[in-house]
Amino acid sequence: MNDENAVLEGREKIEALEAKIAELEEKLAARHEEARGEKLHALEANAKAQAKHLYEELEPFLEKYKGEGRELEELICDKIRKHPGASLALAFGAGLAAAVLLDRKR
């Protein structure tokens, strides 16, 4: 009987160790997910900060080119209003040239 008790005790200890291992694996997996989430959050915050910094550096250039773009748009619209026939012919010619070039690539 002593041997049977020893075997039962051994099995119980093994089962207890297996349960403890499973518990530790779950805790480790949870901690891994938590750390992963923290890293992703830190990366996201860093990316946002870098994007904000980049935008702040580029904003003067953007404003400059937006203004120049508006001026160019106004100039083009004025030319089209003053010369609608020529504008239409130019647009037709450009479309025809593009069609010919695209047709050659087939």
Best CA proximity match to 54, nearest among 43, 64, 46: 46
Say how far apart CA 7 and CA 13 lie, in whole Å. Answer: 10
Tokens linked to 43: 């990366």
pLDDT in tens, 63-91: 888 878 888 888 889 998 999 999 999 99
In contact, 42 and 35? CB cutoff 8 Å:
no
pLDDT in tens, 37-60: 888 888 888 899 999 998 888 888
In this prediction, residue 103 has a pLDDT band, given cuts at 50, 70 and 90, of confident
Considering the entire predicted model, what is its pTM?
0.39
In contact, 44 and 51? CB cutoff 8 Å:
no
Tokens linked to 17: 């160790």
Residue-range domain boundaries for the chain = 2-104
What single-letter amino acid sits at 17? L
Q: What is the pLDDT of residue 92?
A: 93
